[in-house]
Amino acid sequence: MPEYRRQLDDALGALLARRKSHDRLRRLSNAPPNSIDFSSNGYLSLSTNPVVQKSLLSRLEAEFATSENSNALRRQSILGSGGSRLLDGNSSFAESLEAKIAAFHNAEAALLFTSAFDANTGLLSCVPQPGDVIIYDELIHASVHDGMRMSRATKRIPFSHDSISETHQWRSSNDRGGQGGHQSKSQELCDVLRQLSRDKNVMRCKANVFICVEGLYSMDGDVPLLKEIVEIVDRYLPSGNGYIIVDEAHSAGVFGEKGRGLVCQNGLENRIWARVLGFGKAMGCAGGAILCSPVVREYLINYARSLIYTTSMTFTSLNSIDVVYDYLISGQSEPLRQHLETLICLTYRQLHALCIRSHPGRHILYIEKGPSKSPIIPIFTAHPRSLAEHCQGSGFMVRPIVAPTVPVGGERVRICLHSANTPEQIEGLCGAIEAWVRNQMAMEKTRESERHPKLIMEGEGVFIKQDKSRL
């Protein structure tokens, strides 16, 4: 290998070694073949749903059969799309799918992207103009950050997640005990907007403000207080130059009637400027879309580089999404969503009961007490890798989530529930967690008694140290 190449490898290797020394090295891994899935994002288990699978396969077979009978020039390309959407990668099928998606989510228009990541980067990199401001939840997804980095917006301002999250506000108000301890955090979105509303350009509508939140946060499993956010934006930006963007990558399919998403669940379709959909989560496929006005759609077709300069979705991908939407529209997914809700309640019940039985310290195990309809349940622990390994060893696939994916101190194991999970599997998982908790507590007790030999009472009111070496 030439010397210059070795030098680069050495430099990159040093960066990896540093990452490893901080216990932050990322690795690719495969779930053990027979483990029970409490980790993937397929909340409705649609990718393994036999009805959906059959429907996709029969469509592809029908297309193949039709192609067989037509001449070579008119054969449908089943493997690839042939190019960018703007060149040879467009089709009437893609356009009709967009119309179907828009209608389902009560939106004016939809534009497909090859992923929700591309949708976010495309949207944020090209819409905000010089002078504009983007304000965003501090926990917003990496793709929004990347889009913002590429954008020409003049300012990017984070606000605290606690100020918009249902669960965090619930927790704050309970932790406060009426003393107002977290008041300032809850105010942060208001403070940022109040400050901006005094800006000359914002006041005169010469600058726009984009507000970015998610519909369901994938690491915390909580949802934003959308109605309150809309009210706050209207209060501080009454001229209408506050544009809310909701990333529904995780909430589409899960929330709202038939899985229309959080915005529809709240009846806010006309108040949210744009929604980003992800088909790789509850929808069980891959890809993304932006729900917006027809003008914004046309603008994106002209300026969103992640749409223009990439090969568009394949015929097979379009069909996967189409069969999933047909399934949702038909209402067949409703029993799955109801079953998921039952599983969420059962899991919380089991985890809370476990905590009451074992009384683990917060550093061993902490579960949010707040009400939740989210299939993502974070289990906070200072030992996420140990807990995840224990569960995996017991046949349950869960993953540790550590910094930098979450803030230091917010390490956790993330449980993702799916419609295909059974109550017995949840009992099994909670049993494995409880066994780990007891083991952890026992180890801690042993360590504690070794570090601080017990004070034992000898006679009345006299304490002496128990010296283990003499026992």
Ligand X SMILES: Cc1ncc(COP(=O)(O)O)c(C=O)c1O
Contacts to ligand X by CB under 6 A:
115-117, 120, 141, 143, 214, 218, 247, 249-250, 278, 280, 288
Cα–Cα distances (Å) from 98 to 81, 108, 263, 276, 322, in that order, read 16, 10, 18, 13, 10
Q: How far is the CB of 109 from ligand X (least distance, A)?
A: 19
Q: What does 325-339 look like in DSSP terms, one character per residue?
A: HHHHHTTTTHHHHHH
Q: How far is the CB of 312 from ligand X (least distance, A)?
A: 15
CB-wise, 132 or 214, nearer to ligand X?
A: 214
Where is 203: in which H helix or E strand?
helix 200-203
Helix, strand, coil percentages, rounded to 5, for the chain: 50, 15, 40
Q: How far is the CB of 73 from ligand X (least distance, A)?
A: 34
Q: Rounded distance, CA 118 to CA 114, Å?
A: 7
Q: How far is the CB of 396 from ligand X (least distance, A)?
A: 22
CB-wise, 215 or 360, nearer to ligand X?
A: 215
| Assigned token pair, 442 | 């026992």
CB-wise, 213 or 379, nearer to ligand X?
A: 213
Q: How far is the CB of 214 from ligand X (least distance, A)?
A: 5
Q: How far is the CB of 221 from ligand X (least distance, A)?
A: 12
Q: How far is the CB of 117 from ligand X (least distance, A)?
A: 3
User: Could you tell me which residues come within 8 angstroms of residue 92 by beta carbon, excluding any fewer than 6 positions away?
Assistant: none
Rounded to 5 degrees, what are φ and ψ at 198? -90, -10
Q: Rounded distance, CA 221 to CA 300, Å?
A: 30
Per the CB < 8 A criterion, the answer to whether 102 and 108 are in contact is: yes
The neighbouring-strand residues paired with 245 are 212, 274
| Assigned token pair, 15 | 């960066």
CB-wise, 6 or 305, nearer to ligand X?
A: 305
CB-wise, 182 or 250, nearer to ligand X?
A: 250
Q: Rounded distance, CA 288 to CA 278, Å?
A: 4
Q: How far is the CB of 268 from ligand X (least distance, A)?
A: 18
CB-wise, 146 or 199, nearer to ligand X?
A: 146
CB-wise, 275 or 297, nearer to ligand X?
A: 275
What is the chain's Cα-based Rg? 26
CB-wise, 40 or 173, nearer to ligand X?
A: 40
The edge-to-edge listing of strands for the beta sheet with 366-367 is 366-367, 376-380, 412-416, 399-401
